[in-house]
Chain A
Amino acid sequence: AQSVTQPDIHITVSEGASLELRCNYSYGATPYLFWYVQSPGQGLQLLLKYFSGDTLVQGIKGFEAEFKRSQSSFNLRKPSVHWSDAAEYFCAVARSGTYKYIFGTGTRLKVLA
Chain B
Amino acid sequence: SQTIHQWPATLVQPVGSPLSLECTVEGTSNPNLYWYRQAAGRGLQLLFYSVGIGQISSEVPQNLSASRPQDRQFILSSKKLLLSDSGFYLCAWSVLYGYTFGSGTRLTVV
Q: Which of A18-51 contact B (CB under 8 A)?
A: 32, 34, 36, 41-46, 49, 51
Complex interface: stretch among A65-73, A78-86, A99-107? A99-107
Evaluate contact between B104 and A99: CB separation under 8 angstroms.
Answer: no
A-B contact pairs, 11 of them (CB 8 A): A34-B97, A34-B98, A43-B6, A43-B104, A44-B90, A46-B99, A100-B34, A100-B49, A101-B46, A103-B44, A105-B41
Contacts of B104 in A (CB 8 A): 41-43
Say yes or no: A44 contacts B98, CB within 8 Å. no
Q: Mark B14-53, 1 if CB is under 8 A from A, else 0.
A: 0000000000000000001010000001111010010000
Which of chain B's residues have a CB closer than 8 A to the CB of A99?
32, 94, 96-97
Mark B residues whose CB is within 8 Å of A.
Answer: 6, 32, 34, 41-44, 46, 49, 59, 90, 92, 94, 96-104, 106
Pairwise interchain contact B41-A100, C-beta atoms closer than 8 A: no
- Taking CB atoms, residues of chain A closer than 8 Å to B96 are 99
Most B-side CB within 10 Å, residue of A9, A44, A49: A44
Smallest CB-CB A-B distances: 4 pairs: A43-B101, A105-B43, A103-B44, A44-B101
Q: Indicate if the CB atoms of B103 and A104 lie closer than 8 Å.
A: no
